[in-house]
Amino acid sequence: MIRARIVSTGSYLPEKVLTNQDLEKMVDTSDEWITTRTGIKERRITSNGEASSTLATHAARSALEMAGISPEELDLIIVGTMTPDMLFPSVGCLLQDKLGAKRAAAFDIFAGCTGFIYALSVADSFIKNGNYQKALVVGAENMSKIADYQDRRTCALFGDGAGAAVLVREEGDRGIISTHLHSDGRYANLLYQPGGGTAIPATHESIDKRLHYLKMDGNKLFKIAVKSLEETVLETLAFNNIKNGEIDLFIPHQANLRIIQAIAKRLNLPEEKVFVNIQKYGNTSSASIPIALDEANREGRIKDGDLILFNAFGAGLTWGAALVRW
């Protein structure tokens, strides 16, 4: 059987730390509220000049180094991001140049916090159908640049960072087993950035109205997230005819500890099989899964042959899951 195997991982977090105590001085919030409602204690924030492609480059170099693969060997680069350096060209192309990955086709996937799973799915298809041998899949986000630090309902949630994985075409059981993608555009306005695109280009008025910042109806999203994430996991398990108990490690998108715990409970997964790092980084959107995967990998929490489940939910709305044999 031909599979796209994840042969290495990498991640990068900017140095600057923004704690809940820092946020208490900026908006009407408290460490107690943020911790109990989200599980977040602190997040990393980029400095000026650190764009998404900068974060992506650090994470990608780390993954390439672990794989022992040179940038010139890459056939494909896909970046999941909703905070690109600029509207165009893509972070993928900027990353391709920074790495010197001269042969690689490069592009971005705009699927909100589900970006990494969408990117993984596309790379998997390209590899399985024989188009490409070696792919770099990255999730890179600079959420602090679109977070409104006057809006307590959103600014405490998000952080910056990037994670990467190198995929190689291989014969055998190990690799991406299946991916399951969903979207529902009817809920586009539950999480969006209204200004800066072609609907509302930048004007003095759009800036005065703070339309270039992220807007979110968290409470409505929460309910849809728990339901659709559970459904996608059940779909993935049924599609592959496997039981919950066979999952060795569940690496969910880190949006809210309460969402992660609700899914884990519904799936009857014990705490030690669920990877959580939201307390350190907040919600890094499409970077959250590859950052968590890299931490789990480097901490030795994944063994050869383990069955790993990813799932994510985000703007679009989009959601999805991926099952991987390590």
Residue ranges that bind ligand UT7, judged by CB under 6 A: 29, 33-34, 37-38, 113, 152-153, 156-157, 191, 218-219, 221-222, 225, 255-256, 283, 313-314
CB of 163 to ligand UT7, least distance (A): 15
**Total residues found in the chain within this entry:** 326
Residue 236's closest CA among 262, 267, 265, 273?
A: 267
The CA distance from 45 to 282, in Å, is: 10
| Residue 89 or 218 having the CB closest to ligand UT7 | 218
CB of 213 to ligand UT7, least distance (A): 15
List beta partners, residue 6: 167
Is 131 noted as a catalytic residue in this protein? Answer: no
Residue of 253, 256, 297, 311 with catalytic role: 253
| Residue 167 or 315 having the CB closest to ligand UT7 | 315
Residue 292's closest CA among 91, 147, 139, 176?
A: 139
Q: Is 277 exposed, middle or buried (0-12, 13-18, 19+ CB in 10 A)?
A: middle
CB of 130 to ligand UT7, least distance (A): 34
| Residue 194 or 218 having the CB closest to ligand UT7 | 218
CB of 112 to ligand UT7, least distance (A): 7
Residue of 20, 58, 113, 297 with catalytic role: 113
Is 240 noted as a catalytic residue in this protein? Answer: no
The CA distance from 194 to 225, in Å, is: 21
Is 241 noted as a catalytic residue in this protein? Answer: no
The CA distance from 11 to 2, in Å, is: 27
| Residue 96 or 121 having the CB closest to ligand UT7 | 121
Q: Report the 3 state secondary structure along 3-59.
A: EEEEEEEEEECCCEEEEHHHHHCCCCCCHHHHHHHHCCCEEEECCCCCCHHHHHHHH
Residue of 256, 283, 297, 311 with catalytic role: 283
CB of 242 to ligand UT7, least distance (A): 26
Report which residue's Cβ sits closest to ligand UT7: 218
Element (H, E) at 68: none
| Residue 127 or 255 having the CB closest to ligand UT7 | 255
Enumerate the active-site residues: 113, 253, 283
